Amino acid sequence: NAGVTQTPKFQVLKTGQSMTLQCAQDMNHEYMSWYRQDPGMGLRLIHYSVGAGITDQGEVPNGYNVSRSTTEDFPLRLLSAAPSQTSVYFCASSPMGGGTEAFFGQGTRLTVV
């Protein structure tokens, strides 16, 4: 009963490095999204996808790329890490439609030095 799985749980990057945060869900949910959580600011939407091959920007997309080649996977790429991207990242999935809550992964704590 995995739900939403994120890897890695922790990561330290140097400024300018790139990396991919992985997210996989086994619930056959159409909708997947990435959030970042910063102190005092709640969770802010980075990118989202309504199905394989379809992605769109959220509230804070700059510096991040996503792709959705399968229903299960929704990786988040940091192209050139900056200290401002130090945050906790959460991936979430939900079925499309009304009234359904999102299921979240355990998060990835990223530090950019």
Partner 1 sequence: DQQVKQNSPSLSVQEGRISILNCDYTNSMFDYFLWYKKYPAEGPTFLISISSIKDKNEDGRFTVFLNKSAKHLSLHIVPSQPGDSAVYFCAARKYGNKLVFGAGTILRVKS
Which residue ranges make up the site for partner 1 (CB under 8 A)?
4, 31, 33, 35, 40-45, 48, 50, 58, 90, 92, 94, 96, 98-107
Nearest residue (CB) to partner 1, 17 versus 45: 45
Q: Count of CB atoms within 10 A of residue 10's CB?
A: 9
Nearest residue (CB) to partner 1, 18 versus 100: 100
Nearest residue (CB) to partner 1, 15 versus 38: 38
From residue 2, alpha-carbon distances to 27, 71, 72, 113 in Å are 9, 15, 12, 32
Residue 36 Cβ vs partner 1, minimum distance, rounded to whole Å: 11
- Nearest Cα neighbor of 37 from 112, 107, 95 is 107
CB 24 within 8 A of CB 91: no
Residue 92 Cβ vs partner 1, minimum distance, rounded to whole Å: 8
